[in-house]
Chain A
Amino acid sequence: MPDLIDQLAAYRPHIDAAIDEAHSDTRTIDAPGSQPTGQFLPASTEIERSIDHDTIESPVSSTVRRLLVAAAAAAVLIIGVSVVERDGSPENIAANTPVPAESATSSTSVPESTTVPTTTPVASPAETVKAYFAASNERDSQETLALLDPDATIYGHPRLETWTAHRPLADAAIRGDVRAGTVHEVTADDPSPGASNYEFVGTFHFALRRTDTQGTTCFPHASVHVSDGLIVNLIYGNPALCDENVASGLGNLSTGGRRDDPRVDLGRDPAMLRT
Chain B
Amino acid sequence: MVDTRTEGFEEFVRSVERRLEHALVAAFGVDIGLDAAAEALSYGWQHWDRISAMENPAGYLYRVGHNHASKAVRRPTRLPRPEQSEMPWIEPALPDALDNLPEKQRVAVLLVHTFGYSLAEAADVLGVAKGTLQTHVARGLANLRKTLGVTNA
Contacts and interface: CB of A to CB of B under 8 A. Distances in A.
Given A1-B91, A7-B89, A10-B90, A164 B42 contact: no
Given A9-B113, A61-B10, A68-B45, A161 B75 contact: yes
Given A4-B141, A4-B152, A22-B34, A197 B41 contact: no
A2 B69 CA distance: 34
A71 B113 CA distance: 29
A22 B31 contact: yes
Contact of A7 (B73, B91, B116): B91
B74 A161 contact: yes
B55 to A, nearest CB: 22
A67 B46 contact: no
Interface in B23-39: 25, 30-32, 34-36, 38-39
Interface in B4-58: 6, 9-10, 13-14, 21-22, 25, 30-32, 34-36, 38-39, 41-42, 45-47
A139 to B, nearest CB: 10
B47 A70 contact: no
B152 to A, nearest CB: 6
Given A10-B90, A19-B25, A71-B39, A161 B32 contact: yes
Given A68-B42, A159-B31, A125 B47 contact: yes
Interface residues of B, number: 54
Secondary structure class of chain B's binding surface, majority of residues: helix
Contacts, number: 136
A3 B46 CA distance: 44
Interface residues of A, number: 44
Interface of A: 1-5, 7-12, 14-15, 17-19, 22-23, 59-61, 63-64, 67-68, 70-71, 73-75, 125-126, 128, 138, 158-159, 161-164, 194, 197, 227-228
21 contacts: A1-B148, A8-B110, A8-B113, A10-B89, A10-B90, A14-B80, A14-B87, A14-B90, A15-B22, A22-B31, A61-B2, A64-B45, A70-B41, A70-B42, A75-B38, A75-B39, A126-B46, A158-B31, A161-B32, A163-B72, A228-B46
